[in-house]
Amino acid sequence: MGTGRILRRVNLFGTQTSSCKELLSLLRKEYSSLHRSFSWNTLGSSIAANILLPWKSHFCQLLTRTVHQEVKVIESKTSETDDQAVLYVHWPYCAKRCTYCNFNKYVSESINHERIAQCLETETKTLLNLSGVKQINSIFFGGGTPSLALPSTIERVINAVHDKVTFNPGSEVTLEANPTKLEMERLRDFKTAGVNRVSVGVQALNPKHLNLLGREHTVEQAISCVEKAKELYPGRVSVDVIFGCPGQTLEDWRTELHKVLSFCDDHISLYQLTLERGTPLYGWVKQKQCELPDSDTMADLYSEAIQLLDPLGLSVGWRKGLQRCSRPFGPISKE
């Protein structure tokens, strides 16, 4: 039974059952016909973590997504192991926490750079040993704010990859960077360390929105950082931009997009702002201190971006909750 049939059955069960327990029971029976060597507990534990939801319709949507993801994992585990992979390296520290962010990160006044370098180096080697991977096709340093790392730390991780597996010259090594003065000064050193692509967290080009998002840079710093990055990494600079900021209008967004395209057209990642529990922004919205655009406006903002970028030859792809736009056949992150 393929993924498509499973998902059709999940949707059907969602209309025929009155409880999450019954839905899971029926789904389990369907999975028993797969005749594959996997444990229901592997799938069930992932689903069980999400079943305590008060609304059945929301549960069914969540379950459908979970099943879709888990089936892919199961099918990949039952097939022959691929000996090639991409590597994500997480730098867990930030100078401050942005108001909208709930990622795994820590704000610390002092970082033991030698200790974290040793940890990342050891973890990289251990992961490569355990995975059985023979070749890494690209490396992505994310976070957190990996541009706060010492260039020597980045170099040590890259060397650890070289020591353990095949990593061909010219393979993509991407580093996320914020456009602050300190991080701009390190761009050249990161290139020397082995980085050949940077993703700049511009996020907004409206001072009001930068302030609401808790960003530390100015509009001018963002533009200056991207320009410097383009000199050091020609054709390999990505810009992250958030849409759907509190109070953002279609005209605001149109102006912002034109500004972005005036200094970067290699690769653009557009993120819709989402509210995450526990963040300051979530509290402000719930307390009516600010308001996000409604769903119709969000759709208009998205459509405006597509209408503007598509005629310029920027190919468009959707992945992991973001809209990625890049030049055809140009470098694009393989994370």
Backbone angles phi, psi at 239, to 5 degrees: -125, 130
pLDDT 10s digits, 279-314: 999 999 999 999 999 999 999 998 998 888 888 776
Mean pLDDT of the chain: 79
Determine which of 39-48, 73-82, 153-162 has the lowest per-residue pLDDT on average.
Answer: 39-48
Please name the amino acid found at residue 229: A
**C-alpha torsion angle, residues 185, 190, 195, 199 (rounded to 10):** -30
- Sorted by sequence, the CB contacts under 8 Å of residue 224 that are 6+ apart come out as 179, 184
Q: What is the C-alpha separation between 328 and 128, in angstroms, rounded?
A: 32
Return the top range by mean pLDDT from 21-30, 63-72, 277-286: 277-286
Contact of 251 with 308, CB cutoff 8 Å = no
Between 334 and 244, residue with greater pLDDT: 244
Domains and CATH numbers, the chain: 3-78 (no CATH), 94-105+140-148+169-326 (3.30.750.200)
Q: How confident is the model at residue 241 (pLDDT cuts 50, 70, 90)?
A: very high
